[in-house]
Structure 1
């Protein structure tokens, strides 16, 4: 196996997260990250927040970081000088949430939102610039909501449909997720209504939330993919996916269930659950991963999200992970943070041995714990102490199956960096034929 990029020596994770020097933060204290590539740099714009244990009071205006390799991140500053006046007057917010930047026809558009936790007195605004690092000129309101409105004007995500028409995907657990068409010249809605609801749940509380939408179009599968986060961002956050031929839905999961169906019970059985809290046997793991964005870079896909430390849930940071696609066009996520590795041919003998695996059952709340997974030489594989067969079907794909049943799992095997043990490893990620996602890493 060729080695991935080995990460440089850093301060400890806790030292970085608690530092009063923002230049030391790197990936830490980054919440609701939105990623974009511009020239030689990757940029992440994120919510104005920090761990409650950090002493320093920092400015507001949307945090900005950049990188040349998706591994080393440097602090750039804040996009705006505080909360724009119109947004502050409507919300009294002290900081900006969930910013996102897009580039249309040579112009950069920075979408930001302002609100306060637990209310839908919220505001989405837009600023423009000729440079991704600013200065930005505030262009005011895109959409705002109040207690009288069903949607919640937060978490904007921007996408062009196949015809080049811009849409804003937005919303949270107050009424669900919406899609609204924009005027590309102004970056604002062409109509005054809230748009089309494309995802919702029946329980409009933080425990029953659907929020943090992000949509991408995949040309190979001719599908729009809607990523959303379920449940509480403090404990059991998890990422779900549905897909549609149309930008306004319906968005269906692997089993054909509509992310917009708030009558189906239980609601946590809807959506492909591709990432949730987990813990491997060596202690490697994270709590409440979610509020993701997706980067497509020269045909390679990455998910950018935040997560909390298992033993210090007040400490959170940004993760970049590789995304690969199953043979029938569903995204699955690497169990390890990206460290510069690429895809390469995995030989059969590299698979043999003991692995530690995690399964993301839809009904499981909180932390998913690992179980034994062993590849044997005679094409047998042992999972949960049960015997299955395996065969390699292409350079990185392995099929797990039982000859006397219809059960099967498709796995993609990837080189990776084990951040816990600080060494190279192999990982797999995939999905079984019930739509349940699974990932794992090979034991030393």
Structure 2
């Protein structure tokens, strides 16, 4: 499907990866990928409720296959008044098939609930198991939405959740039941933002990195309507403290709100082509790569800059630079075969680059920049950790093969972080 192929919401069978929010992707044993997402589509009628499900064989072409439930399960509906389900998190549960943690709420309220459902297979049948965390307006400061599951260093499961209101929380789960170890536990605070920006923080996802014995927190800042951007921070323990590249804590209310969290993806555009607006609410798909090691994909939704009512899910390559920080491809994933470079290329030369200014939520146009590398060997696709430099700029980066969407060809791309903790990315070519 062309990324420019926009039709009205219409029949779900025509959607592909469009009209999806808050996505997570899992892979079943037979190689089929399943995407689960929020079941709301703005300005559309007759959209089925109950968690949307799509399937794919290649992470590029997606087919809508229906919903996990016939509407909102009754316990969640009775608690929250929700007419749809948000932000499903689906994980393989050790020895017990699959677990889904879904959110039920109404916009602007923290009378919310996270429910649990189980299934023997990602395609279902999904059986609702009731509520696991619930919050109520006027009683709790937390907001029980946007669940994410992390299996920690010892293999124990944790539930991370939260949103505007009082921030992001994490709590331990019972490995057998998948419910809180302590009934009624609302968890420990791990991230928040200042009331001056309405506490604009949600969609958290924690990734454990065994090779670093470190936890990576991804979170979406600002407004889902036009200014979402993805920030990261790291901690030695799942309960924090989480600090960004500059060492600022994700619970700090003294520093300027836009300065906290390392911004790794924001609104951007290449060559005047499609502008990608407000990327956010990510998860991470980790799987075995072709070289025997792991490969990672950032899974997120994004809006079209020329029509922000339209959404699409994108996957982007996710790498880790020499210092161990996550960096994100500037190009959406287009399939493994399309990323193969036609010939080896020198790293030094003219690139089109994007700088993700943490103080700005504007859409950034890529600009030309001459970059130099210490390596003078031609590069055939990688990925590889490198240093890229220009006047006053020194990037701890990763270079890799990609598909240049604006020019319709395989190309060399990079993503990295400078000495000030600012992320840059780019694609080779004048």
Question: Fold match, TM over 0.5?
Answer: yes
Measure how far apart 1:161 and its partner are: 1.0
- Report the more deviating stretch, 345-354 or 166-175: 345-354
Label 1:212 to 1:11 Cα distance change in 2 as closer, same or farther (>3 A): closer
Equivalent pairs counted in the alignment come to: 415
What's 1:323 paired with? 318
Q: Which whole-Å CA distance do the structure 2 matches of 1:264 and 1:271 have between them?
A: 14
State yes or no: 1:94 paired with 2:83: yes
Is this contact kept in 2: 1:156–1:169, CA < 8 A?
Answer: yes
Label 1:204 to 1:30 Cα distance change in 2 as closer, same or farther (>3 A): farther
What's 2:332 paired with? 337
Question: Alignment partner for residue 198 of structure 1, among 176, 186, 190?
Answer: 190
Label 1:348 to 1:159 Cα distance change in 2 as closer, same or farther (>3 A): same
Residues 337-359 of structure 1, C-alpha deviations (whole Å, 9 max, x = no match): 11123787998744354321100
What's 1:367 paired with? 363
What's 1:3 paired with? none
Measure how far apart 1:393 and its partner are: 8.4
What's 1:66 paired with? 55
Question: Alignment partner for residue 268 of structure 1, among 236, 255, 258?
Answer: 258
Structure 2 counterpart SS, 1:188: coil
Question: Alignment partner for residue 11 of structure 2, among 5, 18, 21?
Answer: 21
Is this contact kept in 2: 1:178–1:196, CA < 8 A?
Answer: yes
Residues 348-376 of structure 1, C-alpha deviations (whole Å, 9 max, x = no match): 744354321100111112212322212xx
Q: Which whole-Å CA distance do the structure 2 matches of 1:249 and 1:204 have between them?
A: 24
State yes or no: 1:391 paired with 2:370: no
**Map 1:200-279 → 2, pairs under 5 A:** 200-203=192-195, 208-261=199-252, 263-279=253-269
Is this contact kept in 1: 2:24–2:37, CA < 8 A?
Answer: yes
CA RMSD of aligned residues (A): 2.1
Q: Which whole-Å CA distance do the structure 2 matches of 1:12 and 1:349 have between them?
A: 29
Residues 381-412 of structure 1, C-alpha deviations (whole Å, 9 max, x = no match): 3xxxxxxx532289534323479x7x521232
State yes or no: 1:304 paired with 2:299: yes
Measure how far apart 1:283 and its partner are: 2.5
- Please, which runs of 5 or more residues in structure 1 have no aligned partner? 1-8, 375-380, 382-388
Question: Alignment partner for residue 354 of structure 1, among 338, 350, 353?
Answer: 350
What's 2:416 paired with? 430
Q: Which whole-Å CA distance do the structure 1 matches of 2:376 and 2:97 have between them?
A: 45
Q: Which whole-Å CA distance do the structure 2 matches of 1:204 and 1:175 have between them?
A: 13
Q: Which whole-Å CA distance do the structure 1 matches of 2:133 and 2:127 have between them?
A: 17
- Please, which runs of 5 or more residues in structure 2 have no aligned partner? 289-293
Measure how far apart 1:19 and its partner are: 4.1
What's 1:384 paired with? none
- Report the more deviating stretch, 424-433 or 81-90: 424-433
Measure how far apart 1:11 and its partner are: 8.3
Label 1:284 to 1:425 Cα distance change in 2 as closer, same or farther (>3 A): farther
Residues 10-46 of structure 1, C-alpha deviations (whole Å, 9 max, x = no match): 584312xx24121111110010001212121111110
Q: Which whole-Å CA distance do the structure 1 matches of 2:213 and 2:341 have between them?
A: 27
Q: Structure with the greater relative contact order (CA < 8 A, sep ≥ 6): 1 or 2?
A: 1
What's 2:291 paired with? none
Label 1:326 to 1:12 Cα distance change in 2 as closer, same or farther (>3 A): closer
Is this contact kept in 1: 2:341–2:412, CA < 8 A?
Answer: no
Label 1:435 to 1:393 Cα distance change in 2 as closer, same or farther (>3 A): farther
Measure how far apart 1:203 and its partner are: 2.1
Is this contact kept in 2: 1:175–1:204, CA < 8 A?
Answer: no
TM-score scaled by structure 1?
0.88
Q: Which whole-Å CA distance do the structure 2 matches of 1:215 and 1:130 have between them?
A: 25
What's 1:38 paired with? 28
Structure 1 counterpart SS, 2:308: coil
Is this contact kept in 2: 1:51–1:316, CA < 8 A?
Answer: no
Q: Which whole-Å CA distance do the structure 2 matches of 1:402 and 1:287 have between them?
A: 28
Residues 80-124 of structure 1, C-alpha deviations (whole Å, 9 max, x = no match): 110011111111111000011112113211111110111101011
Is this contact kept in 2: 1:356–1:443, CA < 8 A?
Answer: yes
Label 1:65 to 1:349 Cα distance change in 2 as closer, same or farther (>3 A): closer
Label 1:171 to 1:373 Cα distance change in 2 as closer, same or farther (>3 A): same
